[in-house]
Amino acid sequence: MLNKLAIEDAALQQERAAAAPALRLRGLRKTFATPAVDGLDLTVHAGELYALLGPNGAGKTTTLRMIAGLLAPDAGAIEVFGIDALADPRAAKRITAWLPDEPMLYDKLTPLEYLEFVAGLWGVERERAEVSAAGLLDVLELRRHAHTRCEGLSRGMKQKVALAGALIHDPRLIMLDEPLTGLDAAVARQVKDLLAERVRSGASIILTTHILEVAERLAGRIGILSRGRLVAEGTLAELRTAVGRGSSTLEDVFLAVTGRDAQLACG
Q: Which amino acid is at 23?
A: L
Q: Minimum distance from CB of 65 to another protein (Å)?
A: 8
Contact 38, 59 (CB under 8 A): yes
- How many residues belong to the chain? 267
Q: Minimum distance from CB of 210 to another protein (Å)?
A: 21
Give me the residues that bind another protein (CB under 8 A), please. Answer: 68-72, 89-91, 93-94, 96, 98, 100, 104-110, 112-113, 115-126, 129-130, 133-134, 147-149, 151-153, 165
Contact 86, 77 (CB under 8 A): yes
Q: Minimum distance from CB of 89 to another protein (Å)?
A: 5
Contacts of 130 (CB under 8 A, 6+ apart): none
Q: Which is nearer to another protein, 179 or 232 (CB)?
A: 179
Read off φ and ψ for residue 142, nearest 5 degrees. Answer: -105, -5
Q: Which is nearer to another protein, 129 or 250 (CB)?
A: 129
Query: Strands of 83-84's sheet, edge to edge?
Result: 35-44, 23-31, 75-80, 83-84
d(CA 233, CA 35): 21
Alpha-carbon radius of gyration of the chain: 19
Contact 80, 89 (CB under 8 A): no
d(CA 55, CA 39): 18
Q: Which is nearer to another protein, 159 or 258 (CB)?
A: 159
β pairing state of 23-31 and 35-44: antiparallel
d(CA 179, CA 2): 44
Q: Which is nearer to another protein, 54 or 100 (CB)?
A: 100
Q: Which is nearer to another protein, 69 or 220 (CB)?
A: 69
Q: Minimum distance from CB of 105 to another protein (Å)?
A: 6
Q: Minimum distance from CB of 131 to another protein (Å)?
A: 9
Q: Minimum distance from CB of 92 to another protein (Å)?
A: 8
Q: Which is nearer to another protein, 74 or 216 (CB)?
A: 74
